[in-house]
Structure 1
Amino acid sequence: MSSRLLSRLIALCAVAGVGLSLALVPSAQAQPGACGRASGCTAFELQHAGSTYGWYPTASRYEFKGGVPSAFKKSGKGGYKTHSGMLLLKATRNAGLSTTWTLSKRTGRWETRFKVSKMRSAVESAEAYTLKIGLIPPRSSAHCGGQGITMLKYHPSQSRTAGMEVNTLPANQFVKSVKSGRSIGQDQWHTVAVEVGKNRISFYLDARVVAKETRPAALLDVPLRMRFALIPVAGKPMRDTVLSLDWARYWTMKKVGKHQDQVRRAPLMKLQPNPKAC
């Protein structure tokens, strides 16, 4: 064997050895990711509060890969089904449509990824539905809306505005309007989350903490369930609207979480009377 051929064989063996050693090293993507799976996370999954603020592992989660989960209860009329890994709610005419996740907790972290879109209407003057995502107490503790948390309230008339509320007895309403860099509607994906602790409530939009409340009058101590609702204008023809839910997740408050300096610096909400409380 010539010396040149021997040198080439040694070089090839060295390259193969390096490749083998690299193959034996687990890739970063194969490690347990922020979404809690050994296979890692997709890009969009990394852009939400649960990952950004280090809440994992989840205590409960739904990805809507199969049929409608029994833990989600429909109320009202309209289309209601799962499709392509989403739970779809289609509100038509003047029928309010909602679904409630039956998981009930006094404290914790709730988050969802959603998009909402208006459909064409045969009636030119048809009104747009209001989207409301929040946490509601049992009916016996609701007091006409006197207790509960609104994670996001959206109407197409203010396309980039997300409204947030905390309602407590006897008639307190803590409110915050948050501007998004893009429309909340128009078939665009967003994430919204709320963190309910014994001493603080924090709100998140698209993986960014945007508001908090620490005043004792704002703190709830009732079981809460996550609700998604398309709300019509009473007596008016409505434009068909579709709400798509990609996933819904719940974490406990056992972990402190990351970036607590950001959470502490979040602005307080505005206190005003709640005229609907009873």
Structure 2
Amino acid sequence: MPFTLFGQEKSINVNGTNYHVFLKGFENRSQNTPAIIFENGMGVDLGNWSKIMEQVSSFAPVFAYDRAGIGKTDKIFKMPTAKFVAENLHDILKTLKITPPYILVGHSLGGVYIRSFAGLYPNEISGLVFIDPADFTETKNDWNAIFRTMGIPEKKIDEMLYDRLYRQQSKVDSLHFGPWSERQILNDLRKTDFAEITALPLPKVPIYFFVGGKFEVPLDQRSKDFDHEAFFHIKNNSNMERWKKLIYASGKAGMLLYLTNAGHYIHLDDPKSVINNIKILVESLKE
């Protein structure tokens, strides 16, 4: 049955799963106007975009959804690999008759997922917007280099890397399988230096990065092994150097915006900056 109601949250069945989706602005969509496709962060539902989605829909049609086992979408006991999530999103868009081109907007783990989608369907992409993404360009050596810069002994560095990748494994959480499985997937990608992602082509489209510069880790959650705030700033600088290379590699005009007043959830802390720059991207594609 065709999906004809817009500007509302609905449920749609794709590949045997009921997905909770939100669409707005498609009834007035003109030909070749890009659709804004939002991909949520780890374990987060589409309501996380509430501060920007309505405003963005005033200049471009928007789509958001809950991944399997998150929010109001059915739970499925399949691991949400980057390829699986990208192909599944593609099927959802096809079912809803939301045709390319797409501007993909991904926050945190959503940044990994939109990079995968863009690599699998490069000809369908008009732009990429990464909002403080999980760093899919990072290698284990990049991670260790941060601690070397901080003067941490090599033995301790090796121990911390092992703890990060292997000792934090947890038993299957059937009750919260969606968020649990997404965390496992990110950890698995880190073990391989994101080989599944780096093997994919990069579309020749504008790439925007938003980076949160506000250190937010609560005192009781900070590391006892190193200066956590110093680590945060060194890591941000390291990430941005690689992300700048990614922007240049696309061959198109891009942007990297460092927001000192925003933490990881930049679209909640500084929604105007995100909205205005997505609008700039949309307008630039009309030229």
TM-score category, normalised to shorter length = under 0.3
Q: Structure 2 length as normaliser, TM-score?
A: 0.25
| Structure with greater helix percent | 2
- TM-score with structure 1 setting the length: 0.25
Q: Greater Rg, structure 1 or structure 2?
A: 1
